[in-house]
Structure 1
Amino acid sequence: MTEHTGTGDPARSMALLWRTAEPAAPRGRGAAAGLSVDRVVATAVALADAEGLGALSMRRVATELGVGAMTLYTWVPGKGELVDLMVDAVLGEVVDALGGLAAPAVAPAVAPAVAPAPAPAPGRADPAAVEAPAWRDRLEAVARANWAVFARHPWLLQVAAMGRPPLGPNVMAKYEVELRAVDGTGLDEVTMDAVVTLVNGFVGGAARGVLDRAQAEQLTGISEEQWWEATAPYVDQVFDADAYPTVARVGPVAGEANQAAYDPHRAFEFGLARLLDGIAVLVDAAR
């Protein structure tokens, strides 16, 4: 399934993202008395991490929090706004990993359920205040930080957020620190934005290969290796090496090297290196 950011009420989403109109804590006892927007978002992220985006619903989040659905709606008005908050929260991990901009004090801090995010250092360092590595190293760090976030939160790959991104503090800080990776290279502003978009798109596509493999195993109950073992005898019956000589030559060698028909991790490493090589051509031409 695919969720989309920007499907909630824009005014409510922005107020919640920036915590400019957070509801007052309701009076009472028990779980409801301890609720906050941060806690709602953290619970929703933990649920999506553990069970996937398909398990996410306002009723299920309310159950995890031990409150009624109507109580939850007093904090977050709907699933659209909740998805916006979740995306902004986990993308803050990219900023933390890059040692980048300090997010505003209102930015939510979420502890993922599957794998802990890098602990944010007290007072994140401003990249402009330290000696910056070469642009290629900076851009590679951007790619790897995004890859790591997808690994911790694979449900993020099922959220379409390009056209209507949740414009919260973490999304803004992420865009800022990513742009700084190519600032000062001689690239113009349009090309800087295009390079950042290109790198993020590549990482998302490569990370989707990991998610696809995991989902296929979950749906079928067998691993990719087991599927190939079961399929190989039938391929042998129909495959004609004379008709497909290049496949016959390349396929076995690549399969042996990858230990699979497709290795998303190897594809990421190979593709990232080639992508950076291509961007280097742009940078060299701009100097």
Structure 2
Amino acid sequence: MEQPAHRRIAAEIADRIVSGELAPGDRIPSTRQIVADHGVAMATASKVIAALREQGLVQAVPGSGTVVSHGAGSAPATPDRERVVLAAVQIADAEGLPGLSMRRLAGSLGIPTMSLYRHVADKEELVLLMMDRVMAEHPPPLLVPAVHGWRACLEGLARLQWSMYRRHTWLAEAISFTRPMLAPHAMAHTEYMMWALDGHGLDPSTQFTAAVMVANYVRGTAVNLEGEAQAEQESGLSEAEWLESQQARLAAVLASGELPMIARFIASGDHSFDLDTLLEFGLQRLLDGLEPLLRQPGRTGASPVR
């Protein structure tokens, strides 16, 4: 994804400031020089200067033009892309995607915000790289359809994805199945499930749909994890503690007698209901429904590239 020209040029100048090539008090390239050096319009060159000024890297000095601000060159060298993505994942893990901004990320790395655009075009590309990094840490399981069966393979990958979402609660919100971002390691999960279903009489379109269906079920359940984590942080109560605090209100609602089935469930004493229970119950029913579509395996196809 190509980044806007003014961000790319501003990032180059920011790197020169951070490295010390342009010291405090030095003049930076003028708008006319930027136009000449980079072949951009004057409006784009003006945006470059404005972006650097917003970051506090430069300031206008009467009689001298735009110069490097004092103290602007004290930040460490610009990190590589891997460090940028890892830092972004760590922020999202701790604060969720709403807590992740380019300014916040740059602050954690100790660099000017514009320097980030040397590595990513915008936040959308940053999130894509974050997703792919997390997926790379969770490759498909070492289960083989010919040995373990298609169902065990799909179960194994679904549970792997669930553990991934539990560790990175922001991830489910970031993933879209209607406008998917093409992350190679995420696509490897889909490839694995299609491979597990191969040789059972399904055409490629049905294989793909079935694979996405299972992945979307896990992701759809996982979107609740971020909200639960945020609610626990804000209230200071775990899920069990919150439910305990609602007992009086629940008793008042059930006292009306209009919810006899729920009242019977509560009276049974078996209240072991959480997202893990919901996921496992639904996953088994989903695979039960898929099973009648599959005939006895013939060829299983070549193993996908791992």
Please give the TM-score of this superposition, normalised by the length of structure 2: 0.67
Q: Does 1:90 align with 2:90?
A: no
Stretches (4+) displaced over 6 A? none
Structure 1 residues 33 and 188, CA gap change in structure 2 (3 angstroms): same
Q: Is the 8 A contact 1:47 1:56 kept in 2?
A: yes
The higher radius of gyration belongs to 2
Change (3 A) 1:63 1:243: closer
Note closer, same or farther for the CA distance 1:285–1:243 as it changes in structure 2 (3 Å cut).
farther
List per-residue Cα deviations over 1:54-87 (Å, max 9, x = no partner): 1101111111111111212222232121111111
Q: Given residue 291 of structure 2, which amino acid in structure 1 is its aligned partner?
A: A
Answer whether contact 1:258 1:266 (CA < 8 A) is retained.
no
Counterpart in the other structure of 1:143: 158
**Contact 1:150/1:156 (8 A) holds in 2:** yes
Distance 2:180 2:85 in 1: 17
Q: Distance in 1 between matches of 2:225 and 2:270?
A: 18
Paired with 1:134 and 1:277, the residues of 2 have a C-alpha distance of 14
Letter in 2 for 1:153: H
SS at match of 1:252: helix
CA offset at residue 178 of structure 1? Answer: 2.5
Identify the residue that residue 55 of structure 1 maps to in structure 2: 99
Partner of 1:274: 285
- 1:225 is aligned to 2:240: yes
Match of 1:168 in 2: 183
Name the structure 1 match of 2:38. none
Matched, 1:240 2:255: yes
- SS where residue 243 of structure 1 aligns? coil
Which aligned pairs between 1:31-180 and structure 2 lie closer than 5 A? 32-33=76-77, 35-95=79-139, 97-99=140-142, 132-180=147-195
- Specify every segment of 5 or more residues in structure 2 that has no aligned partner in the other structure, as ranges: 4-11, 21-73, 299-306
Between the aligned partners of 1:167 and 1:35, the Cα distance in structure 2 is 24
| Counterpart position of 1:257 | 270
**CA 1:231 to 1:144, structure 2 compared with 1: closer, same or farther past 3 Å?**
closer
CA distance in structure 1 between the partners assigned to 2:76 and 2:281 by the alignment? 50
Instruction: Tell me the TM-score normalized by structure 1.
Output: 0.71
Percent identity, please: 38
Give the letter aligned to residue 192 of structure 1.
Q
Q: Secondary structure of the equivalent of 1:181? A: helix
Paired residue secondary structure (1:171): helix
Q: Distance in 1 between matches of 2:226 and 2:177?
A: 19
Aligned length: 234
